Amino acid sequence: MYDIKNKSNNSNNLNVNKPVPFIGKGFQPKTRSWMGYFVFFIIIFVLELGTSTGVISSLTLPKPSDVLETIIQLFQSGLLFKHLVPSILRLVIGALIGISLGISIGTLIGLFSYFRSGLVPVIAAIFPIPKIALLPLFVIWFGIGEGSKYALIALGSFTPTVVATYGAVDNVDRTLIRMGQSFGLSWISIVYKIVLPGAMPGILSGLRISLAISIILLVAAEMLGAEYGIGAYILEAGSLYDLERLFAGVTILSLLGITVSVFVTKLEQKILKWR
Amino acid sequence: MYDIKNKSNNSNNLNVNKPVPFIGKGFQPKTRSWMGYFVFFIIIFVLELGTSTGVISSLTLPKPSDVLETIIQLFQSGLLFKHLVPSILRLVIGALIGISLGISIGTLIGLFSYFRSGLVPVIAAIFPIPKIALLPLFVIWFGIGEGSKYALIALGSFTPTVVATYGAVDNVDRTLIRMGQSFGLSWISIVYKIVLPGAMPGILSGLRISLAISIILLVAAEMLGAEYGIGAYILEAGSLYDLERLFAGVTILSLLGITVSVFVTKLEQKILKWR
Amino acid sequence: ASNKKIKVGALRFTSHSASFIAKERGYFKQAGLDVEFEFFQAAQPMAIAIASGDIDYAVTAISGGLISLAEKGAVKVIGGALSEEEGIDGQKFLVSDKAYKAGVRSPKDLNGKRYAVTQSGSSFHYMGSKMAAAENINLSFVPLQKVGAIIGALKSGQVDAWSIVPHIAKPLSRGGSIHIIGNVADYLPNYQITTVFTSSNNAKNERALTKNFLTGFSKGVDDYASTMIDKNKGDAGVNEMVDLIHKYVYTSRPREKAAPSIINGTMRLSDGASLNLASIKNQLEWFKSEGLVKKSITIDTLVDQSYVKIIS
Amino acid sequence: MNIKIKNLNHSYDKSKVLSDINLEIMDGQILSIIGPSGCGKSTLLRLIGGLEKPCSGEITQIGSPPAGCLNAMTYIFQDFALLPWRTVEENVSLVLEDHSLSNEIKRSVIDDVLDRTKLKDFSYAFPKQLSGGMKQRVAIARALAVNPAVLLMDEPLSALDSQTRELLLEDFINLWHRKPFTAVYITHNLSEAVRLGHKILVLSRRPGKIIETISIEKPIADRKLIDKDLDQYQKHLWNIMHDEARAADAELLNV
Amino acid sequence: MNIKIKNLNHSYDKSKVLSDINLEIMDGQILSIIGPSGCGKSTLLRLIGGLEKPCSGEITQIGSPPAGCLNAMTYIFQDFALLPWRTVEENVSLVLEDHSLSNEIKRSVIDDVLDRTKLKDFSYAFPKQLSGGMKQRVAIARALAVNPAVLLMDEPLSALDSQTRELLLEDFINLWHRKPFTAVYITHNLSEAVRLGHKILVLSRRPGKIIETISIEKPIADRKLIDKDLDQYQKHLWNIMHDEARAADAELLNV
Ligand SMILES: Nc1ncnc2c1ncn2[C@@H]1O[C@H](COP(=O)(O)OP(=O)(O)OP(=O)(O)O)[C@@H](O)[C@H]1O
Ligand SMILES: Nc1ncnc2c1ncn2[C@@H]1O[C@H](COP(=O)(O)OP(=O)(O)OP(=O)(O)O)[C@@H](O)[C@H]1O
Ligand SMILES: [Mg+2]
Ligand SMILES: [Mg+2]
């Protein structure tokens, strides 16, 4: 037999008693929600201090308190809603078009060989195309009105939704489908009662990404002849190098993003309460 | 007992013989790779026909053959590489910075309560911020040289990598970690031998998204004082409303995206050969 | 008057004041037009919007994109708007503080320096290029897409020079981080900066409509010039005009903060929308020589000379 | 209704899975099938149920399904195959929805099967709230709801712990006793096979051939958890299987 | 080395899981623990191994681990817990790498344990290529490599089909026979419990209390697959367990 240098006591002495050591600690990070607020507070505090004392030049970053004031002014003047309402409308309509198209096409790709073979390469080719590169064309294709804004956001949310959807359909447990077939369920029943609900978790987590991308694309969309809108507001602030307003706009978008993410979480809890 | 209207033959007649019907068809889409080529061919053919005959106005879309010619000319004049090389360099360096930082921070978030609680909300707040909105600031922060281009691409690939990484770390099978602990493995061994390899599939699929976003951001990055680069080429073509060159550039980006995706697949096959 | 509905593209710049005046004072209405403005963030989408038929008339600088669209048979220049004129404050050459400290005091000192443009083929590129040719120096042009990015780069000394309209140039130079070192007009006298343009279809088939538009527009120009440049109505007139323009420009700032910028922005708008064809030809030749547009384009592809007085 | 299988052969790609299977499933009887891992038991069941097409040979239904049968060949799967987004009741209702039954009939069928499987109190529970044993009872209720001609069971108990398995086996036997059904019962567990089967079919390692068929005369209702009459069968079967099982377990799976 | 548990109580949040457990695990013996689902068997094992801290009571090692022991309390998990990205050999090597052993010693340990578990020919296979039985043999080899004082086994066979389970049970018995080890063996399977245990502990439904402790005198090596001496114990245990098991199975899981 083999031989291992014995580092512990060699004799089996029954008088040596010791409690079993605890070795199972760690690897279970817990979320302490106050920490998040604390970190934001620290960041903002440091920036405030830095910008007030001039350690951080006013060219580099605005004073957080000025940004806050800008947002408050924006709110008080009623301009906030004048900017927010059209943006949210564009977001909702554009994302709705893109996502519903995406789910339909994604489901078709998930179900039919012909759609899969024909469309997957096309989607793969469209994915890496930067939407802002196509802005000039969007004017010709969809006009400068709301149409082109919807189209841009729709295109941006379309591709990730398709990819998420057909991935989700692929991941639907095949035994559930076989079960449906074995009970003689019709094709349409299987799709509506088994495939789509089964793909829902994947589709919803795709939704999270699609909506984040939609928000990001708001700015690009509002490059095209938008008078009002958070994107337009940011662009104008940027072109005037007005950092307070730029950051005010960015903060609003960021809050919008967090709101949307919370909304998806709520939606998940509602639709996926069976999990 | 209940009563169901009997639609089939009521008597148990042993002389009625029929083969068991086949009900297990469908729901297994297969990829026929020729279909992909075929669809591309059809699309290009229709566009060629439409633009040649004038059904599609030259304002709307360029002639595919002209786009091809432009690409060939670009190649023959050597300009293709003059544009491609700096773009790829920016892509590689920027993505490398963003992804390696993202994996590190993501792992920390996955392992430690404090990082998780403190950083997750910050990441969630950064995610929906459109990078192009920050362009004017990037000029001040990182200059108009290569620095700001790397920074933009790094920032763009950072957030999705963080999210993918900590999700992947969370999904590492906890019994494997408990196993490591029960065998008295050191903390560092558990992280390097269990957590990280276990998170690798998730990290790699995050890589796919991060790299796609990096390519999309090339155009935004090259808005800042880039003379050469595919993004710069596209921007110039857009501002001159030169559709042939615009589409040539977009085609090149699209091919780049497909190449990167194939590269990640190869990487997955290599690293995850144990799956 | 038939009260025909048309859409006019505009940027919220003082250089578009003529259209605002014509609308506010009812000159368009008198010409039988019911004008609705469509505002843009940048000039380039405006040109494309004319091509796509989303808007009917607009004012913008001659750019590579505009010429390309003209070459595709989509747009036509039909008149002039903003131009450099001797004696009136025009566009400025600016340098960063860093370059200034390094001894750049006039455009000829810019040899080998970095010159900011939004895009190759933009009017900034044209101005810089022409100046460099005249001074016989070399400039490297840095495309930064957005005016905001250029200002940031200039303030932090990452680019050395730029040119811009006076109402942006002057406030920038006040901070001390940017300095004015010359006038564009010294190199490009009578430079036709912006032009009135429309779709080829309007220019060719809607002659009456186009004439009516130019009539209304010209009246706006006349008012603007007589009040703001020639000061025929004194300060009261200027104030009244500022009030009018403030409805469209710098709307997010209070009147007293906006007024100096509006007044500073005053430049000559060509009388009766007349067009300086020589300047246009010069610009077109430059675009061709830089390889930015097709060599085959002639001045007639770009300009319909039948509408306004042509200066050459 | 009987099922007759004649000269059945089946291959995937180039590898043969089932070789020359001949058998008849008799009305009202339970046929147990045992065999080492990967010998093609599940494949055989899929072929019988029509979920796959055999490469050669034929599978015929002899006679017609019984009165009121909505789905002749009905599966009970090892992993239950419940829809996690439907409650117990809705899972049963699923298989009735595509048939044009009145709401009352549907209601009464559902009530009846939930009653028979003692699930009445859990109608509105979601699958995640159920223990493994209850989940499989739901799957059984669902199968009973269509009044099947033949129940096809692919290791229905092997995902359960052995105590629950024992309990469910009792339930099965009670169900069969109250109203005998035809069934094919695939298992890895020799004691289950002898507890439930009128006939027991032993398959060889892949490609699966029939090595032996055993009939047990003792009535199912009289068989016990610890039953000396059955022990001899079980011992005999284990002797046939031992080496096959060892070899099958030591095979590297092709990847 | 013995393990002594005194007045052990454990709760999660407000729900009590284990109540007043007192027992001693004797050196060189196998202790089987049975009990209905959710009664706290796995929790008890985690407490013994130190993966969790008990709410009250104490668990002490009496005496020192044997010579050459690298890891006193060593688990064998139900789901094998193999690293899928490591080959068989590398999976075993994992638990040796953190000890400063020379390469030759490591090599010889690995060879020895792979030999004892008959895995020599599969050293370079990845887990996905292995059948369930082989995977568990790798986990056993890994546990043997650290020469443990006590093997803690949480339903080590319940993920396997019953034929493979029977084979592995034979292997276990052989291993123990060649070199007796101390072990706690948790199972749901009464016949396994009586096949392997010197002592059998029966836990009640949650909160787990010890209902009964049974000792079986017959030497482990003499016990058989079908063994009348064991049947009486098994029957007795099933009688104690039946109602507890039925109630445990019908409990809705709190979500
Ligand atoms: N769809 C398929 N394509 C290719 N090979 C398959 C397919 N289904 C099963 N096989 C192979 O056919 C053989 C028999 O599989 P089957 O599932 O019928 O075995 P089994 O007897 O049910 O095994 P187990 O006892 O493990 O359930 C196996 O080697 C399996 O790998
Ligand atoms: N980490 C935990 N947090 C909260 N409750 C837990 C935790 N682990 C186990 N429990 C609960 O404690 C009880 C006992 O769990 P345990 O896993 O020990 O039971 P078990 O006897 O092993 O069951 P099984 O036979 O199903 O494996 C269960 O009700 C379980 O839900
Ligand atoms: Mg099977
Ligand atoms: Mg357990």
Residue that terminates a domain, selected from B14, B44, B61:
B61
Same domain, B42 and B117: no
Q: Express each pLDDT in C241-250 by its tens digit.
A: 999 999 998 8
B200-218 core/surface letters (b: 16 or more CB in 10 A; e: else):
bbbbbbbbbbbbbbbbbbb
Partners of residue A227 in chain C, C-beta under 8 Å: 39
Spatial separation of the C-alpha atoms in residues A232 and A221, rounded to whole Å: 9
- Give me B64's structure tokens: 């595919």
Cβ within 8 Å of residue A169, ≥6 positions away:
A106, A107, A109, A110, A111, A195, A199, A202
Over 60: is that where the pLDDT of B5 sits? no
- Give me E197's structure tokens: 């245990």
Same domain, B204 and B89: yes
Chain D closest CA to A225's CA: distance in Å?
Answer: 46
Chain E closest CA to B183's CA: distance in Å?
Answer: 6
Chain D closest CA to E89's CA: distance in Å?
Answer: 15
Residue D132 CA to ligand 2 centre (angstroms): 15
Same domain, A82 and A67: yes
Q: What's the whole-number mean pLDDT along residues B123-143?
A: 86
Which subunits count as partners of chain B given 3+ CB pairs below 8 Å? A, C, D, E
Whose alpha carbon is nearest atom 3 of ligand 2?
Answer: E12
Same domain, B78 and B127: yes
User: Residue A274 and residue D85: Cβ atoms within 8 Å?
Assistant: yes
Residue E126 CA to ligand 3 centre (angstroms): 22
Domain total for chain B?
2
Chain B closest CA to E27's CA: distance in Å?
Answer: 20
Q: What's the whole-number mean pLDDT along residues D80-100?
A: 95
Tell me what pLDDT residue D114 has: 95
Closest residue on chain D to E124 (Cα): D252
Tell me what pLDDT residue B85 has: 96
Tell me what pLDDT residue E136 has: 95
Spatial separation of the C-alpha atoms in residues D54 and D43, rounded to whole Å: 10
Same domain, B240 and B113: yes
Residues in chain C: 312
Tell me what pLDDT residue E91 has: 97
Q: What's the whole-number mean pLDDT along residues B134-155?
A: 89
Same domain, B53 and B80: no
Q: What is the largest CA-CA distance in chain A?
A: 90
Q: What is the 8-class DSSP label of residue B193?
A: I
Partners of residue D147 in chain B, C-beta under 8 Å: 4
DSSP bridge pairs for E186: E33, E154
Q: What's the whole-number mean pLDDT along residues C173-199?
A: 90
DSSP bridge pairs for B19: D60
Partners of residue A135 in chain B, C-beta under 8 Å: 238
Rounded to 5°, angle at Cα D156 from B23 and A173: 55
Same domain, A105 and A238: yes
Q: Is residue B20 part of a domain?
A: no
More confident residue, C121 or D3: D3
Same domain, A44 and A169: no
Q: Express each pLDDT in D4-53 by its tens digit.
A: 999 999 999 888 999 999 999 999 999 999 999 889 999 999 999 999 99
Q: Is residue A47 part of a domain?
A: yes
Q: Express each pLDDT in E79-115 by its tens digit.
A: 999 999 999 999 999 999 999 999 999 999 999 999 9
Nearest CB partner across the interface for B182, out of E75, E84, E94: E75
Tell me what pLDDT residue A204 has: 93
More confident residue, D159 or A193: A193
Q: Which CATH number characterizes residue B149's domain?
A: 1.10.3720.10
Query: Amino acid letter at B229?
Result: G
Q: What's the whole-number mean pLDDT along residues B229-236?
A: 92
Say yes or no: CB of residue D17 within 6 Å of ligand 1.
yes
User: Residue B29 and residue A253: Cβ atoms within 8 Å?
Assistant: no
Q: Is residue A26 part of a domain?
A: no
Over 50: is that where the pLDDT of A11 sits? no
Same domain, A127 and A175: yes
Say yes or no: CB of residue D37 within 6 Å of ligand 1.
yes
Q: Express each pLDDT in C31-63 by its tens digit.
A: 999 999 988 877 778 888 898 888 999 998 888
Contact between A207 and A161 under an 8 Å Cβ cutoff? The reply is yes
Q: Is residue B95 part of a domain?
A: yes
Spatial separation of the C-alpha atoms in residues A158 and B160, rounded to whole Å: 18
Which subunits count as partners of chain E given 3+ CB pairs below 8 Å? A, B, D
Over 60: is that where the pLDDT of C119 sits? yes
Crossing angle for the helix pair D103-116 and D88-97, to the nearest 10 degrees = 130
Tell me what pLDDT residue B240 has: 87
Pick from A224, A222, A219, A208: nearest CA to A267: A208
Q: Express each pLDDT in D61-89 by its tens digit.
A: 998 888 889 999 999 999 999 999 999 99
Mutation choice for B interface testing from D64, D92, D105, D111 by most B CBs within 10 A: D64
Same domain, B127 and B222: yes
Spatial separation of the C-alpha atoms in residues E236 and E34, rounded to whole Å: 13
DSSP bridge pairs for C83: C192, C268
Q: 10 Å Cβ neighbour count for C232?
A: 11
Nearest CB partner across the interface for C146, out of B135, B240, B242: B135
Tell me what pLDDT residue E255 has: 57
Over 90: is that where the pLDDT of C197 sits? yes
Q: Is residue A94 part of a domain?
A: yes
Spatial separation of the C-alpha atoms in residues A92 and A95, rounded to whole Å: 5
Pick from E216, E246, E211, E245: nearest CA to E231: E216
Nearest CB partner across the interface for B16, out of D49, D64, D108: D64
When the pLDDT of each residue in chain C is averaged and rounded to a whole number, the result is 89
Contact between A203 and A165 under an 8 Å Cβ cutoff? The reply is yes
More confident residue, D45 or A140: D45
Q: Is residue B98 part of a domain?
A: yes
Pick from E204, E208, E209, E202: nearest CA to E237: E202
Phi-psi region of B241 (alpha: psi -120 to 50; beta: other; left: phi over 0): left
Nearest CB partner across the interface for E235, out of D125, D134, D226: D226
Q: Is residue A209 part of a domain?
A: yes
Contact between C184 and C93 under an 8 Å Cβ cutoff? The reply is yes
Handedness of CA C273, C276, C282, C288 (dihedral sign): positive
Same domain, A236 and A196: yes
Same domain, B147 and B55: no
Q: What is the 8-class DSSP label of residue A192?
A: I
Q: What is the 8-class DSSP label of residue D252?
A: P
Spatial separation of the C-alpha atoms in residues C191 and C214, rounded to whole Å: 21
User: Residue D98 and residue A274: Cβ atoms within 8 Å?
Assistant: no
Q: What's the whole-number mean pLDDT along residues D117-140?
A: 93
Q: What is the 8-class DSSP label of residue E71?
A: -
Structural domain that includes position B39: 32-61
Residues in chain D: 255
Which residues are within 5 Å of ligand 4 (an ion), measured at CB? E 42
Q: Is residue A177 part of a domain?
A: yes
Pick from B271, B119, B121: nearest CA to B202: B271
Q: What's the whole-number mean pLDDT along residues A103-127?
A: 91
Q: What's the whole-number mean pLDDT along residues E193-218?
A: 93
Spatial separation of the C-alpha atoms in residues E154 and B57, rounded to whole Å: 73
Residue that terminates a domain, selected from A23, A40, A61:
A61
